[in-house]
Amino acid sequence: MSKKTTPPSAFTEGTLLDAMANIARSDNVPAQFKAILKETAGLGTQATRAAIIETLKKRGFVEAKGKKLLSSEAGRGLVQALPNEVSNPVMTAIWEQSLESIAKREMSLDAFMQNQEGFVRAIVSKVKSGDITITLPKVVEPESPCPLCGKTMRLRSTKKPFWACEDRDQCGLILDSVRGKPAKNQKCACGKGVLVRKSGKNKGSFYWSCSAWKQGCQKRHFDDKGKLGKEMGS
């Protein structure tokens, strides 16, 4: 009879906060550290733990699926790339202990910073010598076929994410990003652009206009429940 290994339960925000506060329970903590960390240390502080989780979500390292928190591909890639000395929870917990000692005036800030500088130099030296290898995850850029010229559109971001055709000179099509995909569109009769679904002035209202408006196309269409409706003015 074969046995199947059951994967560990996914964290919720509540269980992750508890795990951060009680890092000594983690299987990744060596036995010699458990007794010390059980009394004094955790990841972050009571005031900062929730903010740390929010930062991980904003940066795309953790994704919320209902009540569950799941690591993203980027998050797993980052942990895999970092040396164990940096990603191991023991190190962060020890730093928190040192910061607490500074607050109690049991350690000076200069002594703490000297320790950190020495730690960083040691890590850099090991990387240079090959004792520690850092493997960066392969970044796969989201792609979509350009509805105007058929070439490749890629997801870009400045203040807001958008999709841009790789052929900037001959095509140059740019579409808004809607839930990670190019905005709804259909080819325009003008042949110069595509009709793109856009948000209207009133909340929940939409219309369609041609992306080639700079080239003189003034075509506009009503929105029919998410689909291209009648042309305005016809």
- The model's pLDDT over 129-168, given as tens digits with 9 standing for 90+, comes to 887 776 666 666 788 999 989 999 998 887 788 999 999 8
Both 104 and 177 in a single domain? no
Domain identity same for 115 and 149: no
Domain span at 188: 143-231
Q: For the residues 31-49, what does the mean pLDDT come to? A: 75
Domain CATH number, residue 56: 1.10.460.10
The answer to the question of residue 193 being in a domain is yes
Verify that 82 and 113 share a domain, yes or no: yes
- Tell me the pTM: 0.49
Helices (H), 166-214: none
- Give the three-state DSSP class for 118: helix
Domain count, the chain: 2
Interval 67-89: pLDDT, tens: 999 998 888 888 887 887 788 87
Cβ partners under 8 Å of residue 14, min gap 6: none
Cβ-based burial of 188 (10 A; exposed 0-12, middle 13-18, buried ≥19):
buried
**Is there a contact between 143 and 125 (Cβ–Cβ < 8 Å)?**
no
Which amino acid is residue 145, in one-letter code? P
Is the pLDDT at 1 greater than 80? The verdict is no
